[in-house]
Amino acid sequence: MSERLQKILSAQGIASRREAEKLIINGCVSVNGIKAQLGQSADIDLDEIKVNGIILSHVPKLLYIMLNKPRGYITTVSDDRGRKTVMDLVSELGERIYPVGRLDMESEGLLLMTNDGNFANIVAHPSREKLKTYEVKVRGNVSDAIAVLKKPMTVDTHLVHAGNVKLIKQTSKDAILEISIGEGRNRQIRKMCKNVKLEVLSLKRISIDSVKLGSLKPGKWRHLTDSERLLLTK
């Protein structure tokens, strides 16, 4: 069956559809010996498709991973500056997978990874607005800030709002908030907290919809259960 090349590359676990488009634009993909063009279709069963000179012949086992990302790792497949990436934590899998969505370098917690392009596209698509819940350790005037965080606010010219904000614990030095958001814009919670003059000391994602990080240790991963996969794609 003929399909767009970026869809084929994504389904094969080579890259996300967006990254696959970059591979095509940069001339890394060929079909039957001819450099591919963006928007081109092919049939993986009939055509010889190469990525960086390697024929797509291996059909990987589809993998669905939950990783507890520690602080200090970046959420990318590779880094030209030599920084630690989440790929270092799943290297023993023996199959190429990639992150679904992002957590910034200083954030930690639940990160989904897969080699199933369709699954990644469904989970990460903005229209789905999966509710993501974070445990946020902050310093500042929490009582005044919570009331404001619960209301819509502008972040990077976009109107955003928290689905839920709860005070979990408070001491004389800091407090722990539980904040849920649906949009998931770049560093959204950090910017929301900055808007209400809260200093973020740590930030950990603890769930995506009803799929929870639980007791998984930092730097460790496990396979998603069938029921978790179903919940994420509903």
Has 88 been annotated as catalytic?
Answer: no
User: What are the beta bridge partners of residue 204?
Assistant: 108, 135
SS (H, E, C) the chain: CCEEHHHHHHHCCCCCHHHHHHHHHCCCEEECCEECCCCCEECCCCCCEEECCEECCCCCCCCEEEEEECCCCECCCCCCCCCCEHHHHCHHHCCCCEEECCCCCCCEEEEEEECCHHHHHHHHCHHHCCCEEEEEEEECCHHHHHHHHCCCEEECCEEECEEEEEEEEECCCCEEEEEEECCCCCCHHHHHHHHCCCEEEEEEEEEECCEECCCCCCCCEEECCHHHHHHHHC
Point out the catalytic residue in the list 79, 80, 104, 209: 104
Angstrom distance (rounded) from CA 98 to CA 101: 9
- Among all residues, which ones are annotated catalytic? 104
